[in-house]
Structure 1
Amino acid sequence: MTASASVHVPRPAAGPAPGAATIGSGRALALLLFVGGLIGLAASAVLTFDKLRILENPSYVPTCNINPVISCGSVMRTEQAGVFGFPNPLIGLAAFGALAAIGAGLLAGAGYRRWFWLGLQGGTFLGVVFVHWLIDQALYEIGALCPYCMVVWATVVTLFWYTMLHNLRTGVIPVGPRLRTVVREAARYHWALPVLWAAVIALLILNRFWYYWSTLV
């Protein structure tokens, strides 16, 4: 007599089993965290280097000073570029380095406890809030854009969204039965929110600096 082994798969958004030790992820999310972390890390490193050069030589002109609107130097010399008392890119070096390490661990087959995933969710949420404050400041207070900063914006929003989808689908963030259909549809059209976000930001940039863009037409 033989007994067939069975694998229990928890319902999406129902919450992890009480005895579950760790929660892993699919390869797609793991790769996204790893690659996104590396992209953000590279952008933060370039910004940190340019900031140090400006501190060393105030007349230094970063290579991403392209025109009056796309001007990293104009952004780096503002108070918003060091809102916590030190250059903002230093936050990116630490945060994106950690995200790349988490992604590498997941690619290697690691799993993390629920509190870890909730911490990751909270961290990416704070990143999104900070990024949107920086977007507001860049558009309506500073009046200039930094290409590397925009790379960071896009990376943070993307990582936040896909981390949240993972946490909803695996039950790290439990939702009621009525919202499970919403979660499934959001996962099905997972690309829609990042594309919509990018389109809205692009329109805001187009509108804010139309006085300059119109001269190029």
Structure 2
Amino acid sequence: MTDVLTRLRTIRHRNGWIFGTMLVSSVLSLLASFVLAVEAVNLAADPDATLSCNINAVISCGTVAGSWQAHLFGFPNAFLGIAAEPVVITIAVASLGGVRFPRWFMLAAQVIYTLGLLFAYWLFYESMFDIGALCPWCLLVTVSTTFVFMSLTHVNIRDGNLYLPARAQRALMAAIDVDLDLIAVTIWLLVLALAVVLKYGSALFG
């Protein structure tokens, strides 16, 4: 059993696993963004259109898409994902092929994607506590964005791309060496799932 766990940990720290996770997650986020963009266009053409993911009062893409939060910059937020995720996909594919990007580039990617993560969670918060409805495709974007962020942060810490003080770099290296990043993300997503269930309960399936 110990040997199996050691092998799994070894695999997880390889570029194939890290950038493979980044690639799959960003592709899922791009897919969800594309679907959301199509639905936004459909709603613009027909505000009374019934969307495929309008399941009940809580699980309702239409309710979320009709909110001001869904058009924060004057256009559907999904277009941001369509613009951003191909860049992440390119980084993942190139890195899987052996390309090593400059430190400044990876730092810039980290900063920009951190802003994207914060935006995704702001939208999640607004859906939960202001809009009062959840969009399955939006939730997929939130989860996949979280995994991309985890993968990007992991590799940037490992490769020393964040220009951190030596003590902070050593501490973070020790954390990812024992997979604390994966543990933290797993717990975080479970907490979010629990929060959704506790807030909406049986209404999720009503």
1:149 alignment partner in structure 2:
138
Asked if 1:161 corresponds to 2:150, the answer is yes
Matches within 5 A, 1:67-216: 67-173=56-162, 174-177=164-167, 180-189=170-179, 190-210=181-201, 212=203
3-state SS, counterpart of residue 196 of structure 1: helix
Amino acid at match of 2:170: R
Aligned length: 191
CA contact under 8 A between 1:41 and 1:96: conserved in structure 2? yes
3-state SS, counterpart of residue 54 of structure 2: coil
In structure 1, C-alpha distance between the alignment counterparts of 2:167 and 2:66, rounded to whole Å: 50
Deviating beyond 6 angstroms after TM superposition, the runs of 4 or more aligned structure 1 residues are: none
RMSD, matched Cα: 1.8
* 1:178–1:91 Cα change, 3 Å: closer
In structure 1, C-alpha distance between the alignment counterparts of 2:150 and 2:193, rounded to whole Å: 19
In structure 2, C-alpha distance between the alignment counterparts of 1:130 and 1:37, rounded to whole Å: 16
Structure 2 stretches of 5 or more lacking a match? 1-13
Amino acid at match of 2:154: L
In structure 1, C-alpha distance between the alignment counterparts of 2:45 and 2:138, rounded to whole Å: 21
In structure 1, C-alpha distance between the alignment counterparts of 2:114 and 2:177, rounded to whole Å: 18
- TM-fit CA distance, 1:185: 2.9
In structure 1, C-alpha distance between the alignment counterparts of 2:53 and 2:45, rounded to whole Å: 18
Q: Which has the larger radius of gyration?
A: 1
In structure 2, C-alpha distance between the alignment counterparts of 1:86 and 1:187, rounded to whole Å: 42
Higher normalized helix content (fraction of residues):
2
* 1:196–1:55 Cα change, 3 Å: same
Structure 2 length-normalised TM: 0.86
- TM-fit CA distance, 1:92: 0.5
Structure 1 stretches of 5 or more lacking a match? 1-24
Deviations 1:132-152 (A, max 9, x none): 111110011000000000010
> Share of identical aligned residues, percent?
30
- TM-fit CA distance, 1:156: 1.0
In structure 2, C-alpha distance between the alignment counterparts of 1:126 and 1:119, rounded to whole Å: 11
